[in-house]
Structure 1
Amino acid sequence: MNGEVIFIDDEAAIRQAVQQWLELSGFSVRTCDSAAQALRLVDSRFAGVVVSDVRMPGVDGLDLLQQLVALDPELPVIMVTGHGDVPMAVQALRNGAYDFIEKPFTPDRLLESVRRAQDKRRLVCENRQLREQFQRKDRVESQLLGVSRAMDTLRRQVLELAGTSVNVLIHGETGSGKERVARCLHDFSPRAGKPFVALNCAAIPETIFESELFGHESGAFTGAQAKRIGRIEHADGGTLFLDEIESMPLAQQAKLLRVLQERTLERLGSNRSIQVDLRVISAVKPDLHDEVRAGRFREDLLYRLNVAELHIPPLRERREDIPLLFDHFAAEAAERHGREAPPLSPAELAQLLSHDWPGNVRELINAAERHALRLTRAPAGTAEDQSLAAQMEAFEAQCLHRALQQCRGNISEVMALLQLPRRTLNEKMQRHGLSRLDYLPDGAEDD
């Protein structure tokens, strides 16, 4: 469906004709014979377009417009006027109408106006949804930001796994947000009220690793002047997050395996077993199976940790998320420093989209903060080193992607939106490796 339209006219023949025209073009249409009937169908969450005749008995189109604008100033309302009502239509535009169409009108004139209005309404609703997601910290969308299909999949997987107690292994490059994903698995789980304990295995010296993980009793070794609760014990009832698990020493891998098998631990210097109930979420950069083959990681521990897997896509594989993420982090930085973030220019956006972001989201956050503080410099190895043609290619690919996403793979709509003939659009999509199948709604079949 191309969107929803409410059409109001007191003449049944006109209502029937307009409904047929619009439905043949893929719109969902509801007709009303009065303004009062239409008002019962519209609220601030209505995601469609209203088309109304001006002259109607009772509440006329202008009064209806006034009430709709008061309900939602961004709702597109198209007014249909008689030949002598043009001055009235001009006043309606000043009062908030999106467009006016003079009777008698052709189907093409109506369709053109409705399509433009629906495009505007879709963008308004999408922006509102994103703002609501950012403001609601209890939503996974506010924690794992992105509009790409890859992020939709990741959020769904996180919510599915959050309700279980299985151990999870997270794969992702440096800076891709592995700890953020682990935190979401905890925050949206039944363990949310218990501790979330994070440990970077690569940052702990091997000499103190066992004490850090399992704790120790007073006098267990030189310098152990007091009892210490280890990270595992501290996570009891909650979640233990082990980042860069591939860096854990082999000796500690064996002891961790025992904890996972027996649900008990012993502090250094103690013979007393302590019961622990925890979920372990691990994060890794390399393939742990390669580490097992190289003798650096225990295979039995891998199977204990890898009950379920999550893969975080690198930023270069979800470039459509870059503008949204950059705006979000720049706004956060600007607020933190008491400033207003400057808008991105087309050239700056092209730079962001053409960069490969080896540091992923962490690198993007740094760039957004520099932008908010007006300390922006081009990401290394991108626009400063690329030709104008290369930058324009990257920007063109992004425009095509956004249009396909907005039109949900409908090539006819993309052609109209970008004002491109089919042959040119097909050539550009082929050159950039884009397929309409990747943008079809879930469950839709290619025709």
Structure 2
Amino acid sequence: MKKGRIILIDDDRDHLRAASDWLTVNGFEVLSFDRADDAFKAIIDQPPDLVLTDLRMPGVDGMTLLSSVVRKCPGLPVILLTAHGDVSLAVEALKRGGEDFIEKPYDAERLVGVLSKAIEKSRMSQEIGRLQRLVVQQDKEVGSIIGDSTAIRSLRQRIAALAQVDIDVLIIGETGTGKELVAQALHYQSHRAPAPFVAINCSALPESIFESEVFGHVKGAFTGALSERQGKFEHATGGTIFLDEIEAMPLPFQAKILRVLQERVVERLGENRLRPVDVRIVAAAKTDLSAEIAAGRFREDLFYRLASVDVRIPPVRERAEDIEQLFRHFASLAARRYGRPEPQVPPSLVVRLLQQEWRGNVREVKARAERFALGLDEEQPQQSAFSIEAPLPERVSHYEARLILAALGINHGNTAQTAADLGIPVRTLNEKIKRYGLRYSGET
């Protein structure tokens, strides 16, 4: 079995032949070139597992080739061969995306080791990426809009219809109703699905960096701007921009967003050039914005530009027939995530669920269901891992372990935030996690 496919470039044909023979003997498939431009065509045509190139060559040199590979084949490892006096140049190459460099003359065995390690690392990175994409896809499948009520069926039909029309949309719904989920559904059911879905929380982005983050900046635009930076609108080209909590956007930036909506161009901070962007804009607000307009906190012209088409999400209290289904769905997901048995929801709990106000809407239902799946709900059937006759310290420890696991789940495995929520030092939390043998399976 071949260790990997390598493209080798060096204008020194004697070294090219010797290195190619040595790597072939050691199990690599090698394609050799004495010109970087010819090699680059082969790389684009059929990307190898690794590129090994001399740094100094006539015509297109190794540094130029590196830049082209990083731009066209991100993630493809490039290792440079350098002379002793080129170490500083090789270090610069690493900053530009090179994987490693080897000084000539080199130890032949070390060369094999470095290449093998780089290919293994690259393959592992690709596998992690594949698994992450699989998780995202699974999340999309399990994160569908749950419910069979008339209101939810109408919502799904409206999303399906609007997804096929390339028009900006305003989503209106209370906190926790699933506005971002609706925005994602509009994106993934449209022809823009292969392109990025980029979410911007307008209330969480500080005014001081808003323009730079959203529209990008050029080198030297402000102190610390050491290089050009693409903004979120440019990054989302071909896809969808989701402006969450649009009502919290500062007035000065509302005018800039209105210009993007009208002209489909952005201007990076510190630049006079207009850059066209092909994006669909989906905005979300907690209310219909009339109060914000009346108070002078939201531009009326921006509202009318956004609200040509709107999607209104019903609160949970208006879709009571969906509550049991939502609760069972989230409880089942949580049980699988944490390795717990499938929870049985008793009728008495269903009655209590239907009597709740659910001011936090679906988000609150989800949190309650996860607590139930972890055995932290007062109506959870008694399937405890300890008996009532167990010593009190054992029962206390068991309960403490469940609380910690639940907090880890809420914070997606973030131990610092979990410790803060529980009111204990991080070191103490880590000791308890080790003592109880806890493992948060949702971590990546």
Q: TM-score, normalised by structure 1?
A: 0.53
Instruction: Tell me if 1:169 matches 2:167.
Output: no
Mapping 1:285-324, distance limit 5 Å: 285-324=286-325
Are 1:361 and 2:340 an aligned pair? no
Quote the residue 1:243 is aligned against.
Answer: 244
1:228 Cα deviation after fit: 1.6
Contact (CA 8 Å) 1:175, 1:361: kept in 2 or not? yes
Question: Are 1:375 and 2:376 counterparts?
Answer: yes
Deviations along 1:11-62, one digit per CA (max 9) or x if unpaired, are xxxxxxxxxxxxxxxxxxxxxxxxxxxxxxxxxxxxxxxxxxxxxxxxxxxx
State the match for 1:158 in structure 2.
159
Identical columns (%): 56
User: What is the distance in 2 between the residues matched to 1:223 and 1:141?
Assistant: 42
Provide, for residues 116-169 of structure 1, a one-character-per-residue CA deviation record: whole Å limited to 9, x for no partner: xxxxxxxxxxxxxxxxxxxx9799997111010000000000000000011110
Offset at 1:189? Answer: 0.5
Q: Is the 8 A contact 2:172 2:285 kept in 1?
A: yes
* Displacement of 1:210: 1.0
Equivalence map 1:134-145=2 (5 Å): 143-145=144-146
8 Å contact kept, 1:169–1:305: yes
Question: What secondary structure, in the 3-state scheme, does the structure 2 residue paired with 1:362 have?
Answer: helix
Q: Aligned residue for 1:270? A: 271
Structure 1 residue 341, shift from structure 2 partner: 3.0
Q: Which amino acid in structure 2 is aligned with residue 187 of structure 1?
A: Y
Inter-partner Cα distance in structure 2 for 1:140 and 1:347: 30
Instruction: Tell me what 1:214 maps to.
Output: 215
1:140–1:155 Cα contact (<8 Å) kept: no
CA gap 1:377/1:241 in 2 versus in 1, 3 angstroms: farther
CA contact (8 A) 1:191 1:238 kept: yes
- Looking at structure 2, the residues matched to 246 and 176 of structure 1 have their Cα atoms a distance apart, in angstroms, of 17
Aligned residue in 2 for 1:257: 258
Matched residue SS, 1:174:
coil
User: Which letter does structure 2 place at the counterpart of 1:365?
Assistant: K
Aligned counterpart, 1:352: 353
Whether the aligned pair in 2 keeps the contact of 1:341 and 1:373 (CA below 8 Å) is: no
User: What CA distance in whole angstroms lies between the structure 1 residues aligned with 2:250 and 2:342?
Assistant: 45
1:282 matches 2:307: no
Q: For residue 202 of structure 1, give the secondary structure of its aligned residue in structure 2.
A: coil
State the Cα distance separating 1:225 from its structure 2 match.
2.0
- TM-superposed CA distance for 1:290, in Å, is 2.1
Any idea what SS the aligned residue of 2:203 has? helix
- Tell whether the 8 Å contact from 1:217 to 1:226 is kept in structure 2 after alignment: yes
Cα offset for 1:226? Answer: 2.3
Q: Which runs of 4+ in 1 moved over 4 A?
A: 136-142
Please tell me the residue identity of whatever aligns with 1:373: L
Query: SS at the partner of 1:280?
Result: strand
Aligned partners of 1:342, 1:138: CA distance in 2, in Å? Answer: 20
- CA–CA separation in structure 2 for the residues paired with 1:212 and 1:299: 25
| Alignment partner, residue 194 of structure 2 | 193
Question: 1:140, 1:184 within 8 Å by CA — same for their partners in 2?
Answer: no
| Paired AA for residue 290 in structure 1 | A
CA distance in 1, matches of 2:309, 2:191: 18
Deviation at 1:337, TM superposition (A): 0.6
After superposition, give the CA deviation of every residue in 1:337-359 in whole Å (9 maximum; x if it has no partner): 11113211122111111101111
Q: In 1, Cα distance between the equivalents of 2:322 and 2:184? A: 21
In the alignment, the residues of structure 2 paired with residue 172 and residue 276 of structure 1 have an alpha-carbon distance, to the nearest angstrom, of: 28
- How many residue pairs get aligned? The number is 244
How has the CA–CA distance of structure 1 residues 138 and 220 changed in structure 2, closer, same or farther, with 3 Å as cutoff? Answer: closer
Q: Deviations along 1:198-221, whole A, 9 cap, x unmatched?
A: 011000111111111111112111
The Cα RMSD (Å) is 2.1
List alignment gaps of at least 5 residues for structure 1: 1-135, 379-447
Mapped contact 2:335–2:343 kept (Cα < 8 A): no
Q: Deviations over 1:270-319 (max 9, x none)?
A: 11111101111000012212211211111111111112111101111111
Change (3 A) 1:293 1:140: farther
Give the letter for the 1:261 counterpart: Q
Change (3 A) 1:139 1:200: closer
In the alignment, structure 2 segments of 5+ residues that lack a partner are 1-136, 380-444
State the partner residue of 1:444: none
Please give the TM-score of this superposition, normalised by the length of structure 2: 0.53
